Amino acid sequence: MFLIRTLHKWFGLILGLQFLLWSISGAMMAMLDAKKVAAEDSERAPPALSQPLSPIRLASLAQSLDAPILRARLRPLGEHYVYEVETPLDLRLFDAATGAPVTIDAPRAQALAQAGYAGSGAVASVEKVEKVSGEVRGVTLPVWRVAFADPDHTTLFVDPRTGAIHHRVNDTTRTWNLFWMIHIMDYPNGAGFNHPLIVTVATGCVWLALSGFILLVRSFRRQDFAYVLDPIDKLRGR
């Protein structure tokens, strides 16, 4: 038992800080409302469009493509219908009525973001993000970043290939991201949560928790529970 106490003490000294960081970051993430973190309150459903009257045939698009069609999708985008065509080379958008190529440039990204935004703020900035940051983790880059001037600093990310709103963040998301980074020890940003450092520290902390658990058995004596046990004994007439 002395050995376990010594081990608990030394593991606590070496790994205790991470244990504390895990509990604080975990507790903070538990406090932040998941709906707020996902910026769900800023979501606006796209307008319902009536069916396109006469979409062109895919065959007429094939001429303007340099590669064979693998998949395609006819769907609404903003106020029009588009074809999203996938070839071995890339993904491209065409106007479904005219067949004209559609590119998601800055004004178009802004318009799409505004259509999907339910808040009160005006657009504060539109920029193309080319580098990974806490806001764009696991996203195919580049991506359009459309920031709104509201109290939460809501920001929408628009995929330049499809025009879809990829994800949205606000100040709560940013706070959550910080604690998540601490929680998964993602110090070289973007490594995810399956790296050797965290597995090693987690293994050590399993022992920290287990040794603490074993110590509990020895740390309590009958007198610790006397205020409960004494009356019970009395009732039993001992």
Least Å from the CB of residue 44 to other proteins: 17
Alpha-carbon gap, residue 96 to 108, rounded angstroms: 17
Would you state the structure tokens that stand for residue 42, as one six-digit string?
Answer: 């800023």
Binding residues for other proteins restricted to 184-203, rule: CB under 8 A: 184, 192-195, 198-199, 202-203
Q: Is 178 in the site for other proteins (CB under 8 A)?
A: no
Residues paired with residue 190 on neighbouring β-strands, in sequence order:
none
Task: Decide if residue 72 touches other proteins (CB under 8 A).
Answer: yes
Taking CA 224 as the corner, what is the angle to CA 220 and CA 228, rounded to the nearest 5 degrees?
A: 130
The yes or no reply on residue 208 touching other proteins (CB under 8 A) is: yes
Q: Using CB under 8 A, which of the segments 63-71, 100-108, 116-124, 226-234 binds other proteins? A: 63-71
CB 156 within 8 A of CB 146: yes
Q: Least distance (Å) from other proteins to the CB of residue 56?
A: 8
In this complex, which beta carbon is closest to other proteins, that of residue 51 or of residue 235? 51
In whole angstroms, the minimum distance from the beta carbon of 76 to other proteins comes to 6
Nearest to 87 by CA among 60, 64, 54, 108: 64
**Can the peptide bond before residue 142 be classed as cis, meaning omega within 30 degrees of 0?**
yes
Scanning 105-113, 125-133, 152-160, 215-223 for contacts with other proteins by CB under 8 A, the matching segment is 215-223
30 binds other proteins (CB under 8 A): yes
At residue 104, φ and ψ (nearest 5 deg) are -90, 85
Measured at the alpha carbon of residue 73, what is the angle toward residues 68 and 76, in degrees to the nearest 5? 140
Q: Element (H or E) spanning 74, and its range? A: strand 71-77
The Cα–Cα gap between 148 and 121 comes to 5
Using rule CB under 8 A, residue 40 touches other proteins: no
- Please give the size of the binding site for other proteins, defined by CB under 8 A: 56
User: Which of 47, 57, 66, 234 lies at the binding interface for other proteins (CB under 8 A)?
Assistant: 57
Torsion sign across C-alpha atoms 176, 181, 182, 183: positive
Q: Please report how close the Cβ of residue 97 comes to other proteins at its closest, in angstroms.
A: 11
Which residues bind to other proteins, rule: CB under 8 A?
Answer: 9, 12-13, 16, 19-20, 22-24, 26-27, 29-34, 49, 51-52, 54-55, 57-59, 61-62, 68-76, 88, 184, 192-195, 198-199, 202-203, 205-206, 208-210, 212-213, 216, 219-220
